[in-house]
Structure 1
Amino acid sequence: MITGERQAARIRSLYLKTILRQDISFFDKETNTGEVIGRMSGDTVRIQDAMGEKVGKFIQLFSSFVGAFVVALIRGWLLTLVMLTSIPPMVLSVSVMSVMIAKMASRGQTAYAKAATVVEQTIGSIKTVASFTGEKKAVADYNKSLVDAYRSSVHEGLVAGFGIGSTVFIMFCTYALSVWYGAKMILEKGYTGGDVLTIVFSVLMGSM
């Protein structure tokens, strides 16, 4: 996390230096001040998360994945293989949810950048806006950007809800499958109740 903080500060500094080297036409055609500020504050935080906390979390989850499946295969490889069929739909559900949430978050960030641009241009040229009675138009443009951001946030919440719901549904179906097949293993293959519970929790914790 310390490394991520240092890199984020360095990226902000280099980003500002690069922006200040651009020609005036760059700010007229390619970007605007509101977007520059929004990107500098928003994107660097994401980079910081990816380089800091996410790295430690990845190591933790990868270790849990390997360790859990090793334990499960040792205690009962047959039941473990049956439960492995639940991993592809769970991974697919989480992947689709992550991609959709990323798209919605990007749309929301773009809408907020547009709103910030409207505010900055309106306040920066307030005399001109007031002389042409453009206050209502500026407010309407700002509200439109906020509505777009609101819709993106609502869609993001819906996608997250459906994604988490489908993941939990798959997980409970896996519980049902493991209990049913585990009972058969106890009757036919000499498994114990402790073996079944160990395999179930190991596979589910490893797949999460």
Structure 2
Amino acid sequence: MGTEENSKKSRDHIGSIRSIFMHADSADWLLMVLGFIGSIGDGFSTPLVLFVTSKLMNNLGGTSSSAEAFSHSINKAPNFLMNVAMFFGCYLIGFVMLWRLAIVGLPFIVILVIPGIVYGRTLMGIARKTREEYNKAGTVAEQAISSIRTVFAFVGEAKTIAAYSEALEFSVKLGLRQGLAKGLAIGSNGVVFGIWSFMSYYGSRMVMYHGSAGGTVFAVGAAIAVGGL
């Protein structure tokens, strides 16, 4: 009896799953397939963005970067186009949904965008100078290796080592400046929490005194913060 009951339950369970799709037409199947693909794409979007962001940060802070190489790398990862579209799209949607709250958050664009541009240019400049210093040190090493007999004959090892160390000394200072610039760039993202706090405060007042919907206020505040970031 127990086996028959389990078999019956299994058939009922399978039947209940099949019954979901029993009356589905071609339009339903198409929507379900598109939803399935969209769900997978949505799940992969976050790790993919993190992967592309890591490449972008490495290009900004790498010692072998240059303006041309950085532009070439940016022109590859449609990530740049995606972020630009997100920036304009978030603010556009914010104005469409609740323009009063969006116009209050509009000035915060300066706080979010300007530091990123400044730090980006600073990191590129430091990377260029670091590469130049490494090239100087490489030149000293290449000359010493190509003339190793002469260096050894005139006991110039100490002088060559001193010249090589001097060439690398400034690159160490540049490395410290690069780390500080990266820290400031990452730390400046904390201003998003301050912006979100202000948007929450002003949005709550709009809900209490102007009859705005709470969901709309939340969506506009998130759009302003995420778009600017």
Question: Do they superpose with TM above 0.5?
Answer: yes
What is the percent sequence identity of the aligned residues?
A: 28
Which one of 73, 77, 84 corresponds to residue 106 of structure 2?
A: 84
Q: Distance in 1 between matches of 2:70 and 2:224?
A: 31
| Residues 92-135 of structure 1 deviation map (CA, whole Å, 9 limit, x = unaligned) | 21122112212211111111101110111000011111111111
Task: Note the residue ranges of structure 1 that are not aligned, 5 or more in a row.
Answer: 1-38
Contact 1:86–1:174 (Cα < 8 Å) also in 2: yes
Count of residue pairs brought into register by the alignment: 166
CA contact (8 A) 1:111 1:146 kept: yes
Q: Is the 8 A contact 1:115 1:142 kept in 2?
A: yes
Determine which structure has more spread, i.e. the larger CA radius of gyration.
Answer: 2
Say what the alpha-carbon RMSD is for the aligned residues: 1.9
Contact 1:93 1:167 survives alignment (8 Å): no
Partner of 2:73: 49
Query: What is the CA-CA distance between 1:45 and the residue it aligns to?
Result: 4.2
Q: Do residues 132 (structure 1) and 161 (structure 2) align?
A: no
Partners of 2:133 and 2:159 in 1: how far apart?
Answer: 17
1:70 Cα offset (Å): 2.1
2:206 is aligned with 1:176: no
Report the TM-score, using the length of structure 1 for normalisation: 0.73
For 1:5-26, what per-residue CA distance to the aligned partner results, in whole angstroms no more than 9, with x for missing partners? Answer: xxxxxxxxxxxxxxxxxxxxxx
In 2, are the aligned partners of 1:94 and 1:167 still within 8 Å (CA)? no
> Which runs of structure 1 show a deviation greater than 2 angstroms over 4 or more consecutive aligned residues?
41-48
Counterpart AA for 1:194: G
Aligned to 1:185: 206
Residue 121 of structure 1: aligned partner: 143
2:98 and 2:189 mapped to 1: Cα distance? 25
- For residues 49 and 166 of structure 1, the distance between their equivalents in structure 2, rounded to whole angstroms, comes to 24
